[in-house]
Amino acid sequence: MHKIKCFECGSEITDPFLDACPKCGGILTIETDLDAVANLKPKDLREKPLNVWRYAPFLPVKCNVSLLEGGTPLYDCRALSKQLGVKEVYVKYEGANPTGSFKDRGMTVGVSKAIELGCQTVGCASTGNTSASLAAYAAKGGLNCVVLLPSGKVAAGKLAQAMFYGAKVVMVNGNFDDALNVVKSLADERVLYLLNSINPYRPEGQKTLAFEIVDQLNFEVPDRIIIPVGNAANIWAVYKALSEWKALGWIDKMPKLTGIQAEGAAPVAKAFKEGSSDFQPELNPETIATAIRIGNPASGRKALKAIYDTKGYSTTVTDAEILDAQKLLGRKEGVGVEPASAASIAGLVKLRNEGVIDSDERVVCVCTGNVLKDPDTVIKSCGNILNAEPNVTDVKRVIA
């Protein structure tokens, strides 16, 4: 049986509704019962379809709600690897999930847990994707859903999704960090069951992103996995997944986990630069990659552990580098990702140029969300629409 533990002081938590340690206030995590899976072999899992629930023995809940999340493509990006001079570059394309982001992996587990606990209403703060995903899974599970969004800073596709799936959408006059503080208080008052990634069950579902990468590479572990970092739970989830498989002897090494943040919202990357295992919150985070416009990442300390323990790396990329990388991936590989997701590609480009990434590496970039999430940014950054009269001659003229 799994246990809920405090990441900071190690205390065991028995109340499944808590999202912080009652003793020290630390963030929580799940201790997986590895004895229960000790006799399992990778081939036992591989008989099941490739999706989140292939890895059910490593998940702390049974499947109550699913939209067949996971099973996303791992693209072998040969043009990109040639251009950048890196032996192998893969993109794990999370935009192919049911609501278009990796959050669905966490939500199938989180909402399944909510149902198991008998909750009626679920809620979150969100820069967009978490709300879109929670709204869809709550609809599928027959639950009420409340989402708190930073006013004016949520991409159109994500806002449309949350509204479409029937969530109560509340715009908060503040940023994501402010909205998270409010929703935490609502959860403390049991107004709703909180399904941000500070809920320790959410990252458990997100572990499957890493399980799939290794599975799709036939258990040949990549040298490096590059991940955009915002509230910082996803890089932790990847670390936790691979640590569990390493403990079982299913893999023999850990990839260097490499966390990329936007320059204007980079507490984790700044802490890494200083060699610190703690970070200073950024009071006014700002970036075009609104999904990672987060100044006080709830899992920041977990992310730093993941990076240091794997001899990984962390750096920042500018908004211009993010937009260039987004276009590069679209135009070289035909893969459409939202700006935050392109941060992993921008990080690859930057770290290759700086010599941090070697030419002989096998690198996986996690591209967390679909290009259609944020059409306004794409239209602005790609510009250049041609206009013509409705006749062949004029169309030939403008395309010449």
Ligand X SMILES: N[C@@H](CCOP(=O)(O)O)C(=O)O
Binding residues (CB under 6 A) for ligand X: these are 103, 124, 126-130, 176, 196-197, 230-231, 233, 291
| Residue 220: CB minimum distance to ligand X, A | 29
Determine the length of the chain: 400
In this complex, which beta carbon is closest to ligand X, that of residue 293 or of residue 350? 293
280 φ, ψ (degrees, to nearest 5): -100, 125
Nearer residue to ligand X within complex by CB, 55 or 176: 176
Q: Which of 117, 136, 128 has its CA nearest to residue 290?
A: 128
Q: What is d(CA 304, CA 299) in angstroms, rounded to the nearest whole number?
A: 9
DSSP character for 319?
H
Give the nearer residue to ligand X in terms of CB position, either 103 or 301.
Answer: 103
> Of the two residues 120 and 280, which places its CB atom closer to ligand PLP in the complex?
280
From the CB of 235, what's the least distance to ligand PLP, in Å? Answer: 6
Smallest separation (angstroms) from ligand PLP to the CB of 12: 25
Query: Of the two residues 84 and 233, which places its CB atom closer to ligand PLP in the complex?
Result: 233
Contact 57, 2 (CB under 8 A): no
Ligand-binding site membership of 175 (annotated): no
Contact between 237 and 250 (Cβ < 8 Å): no
Torsion of CA 182, 185, 191, 194, to 10 degrees: 80
- Least distance to ligand PLP from the beta carbon of 127, Å? 6
By CB under 6 A, name the binding residues for ligand PLP: 101, 129, 197, 228-234, 291-292, 338, 340-341, 368-369
Checking DSSP bridges between strand 193-194 and strand 224-228, what pairing results, if any? unpaired
Contact 319, 264 (CB under 8 A): yes
* Residues 238 and 323 sit within 8 Å (Cβ to Cβ): no
Q: How many CB atoms lie within 10 A of CB 44?
A: 11
Check whether 298 is labelled as a binding-site residue. no
Residue 374 binds which one of ligand PLP, ligand X, none, with CB within 5 to 8 A depending on kind? none
233 is annotated as contributing to ligand binding: yes
Output the CA–CA distances (angstroms, integers) from residue 240 to 39, 59, 155, 171, 341, in the order listed.
20, 12, 30, 33, 21
| Residue 196 contact partner, candidates ligand X, ligand PLP, none, CB within 5 to 8 A by sort of partner | ligand X
126 binds, among ligand X, ligand PLP, none (CB under 5 to 8 A by kind): ligand X
Determine if residue 312 is labeled as part of a ligand binding site.
no
Give min distance, CB of 123 to ligand PLP, in A: 17
Interacting partner of 316 out of ligand X, ligand PLP, none (Cβ under 5 to 8 A depending on kind): none
CA torsion sign for 124, 158, 71, 91 is negative
Q: How far is the CB of 200 from ligand PLP (least distance, A)?
A: 14
> Is 230 marked as binding a ligand?
yes
Residues tagged in the binding site annotation for pyridoxal 5'-phosphate = 129, 230-234, 368
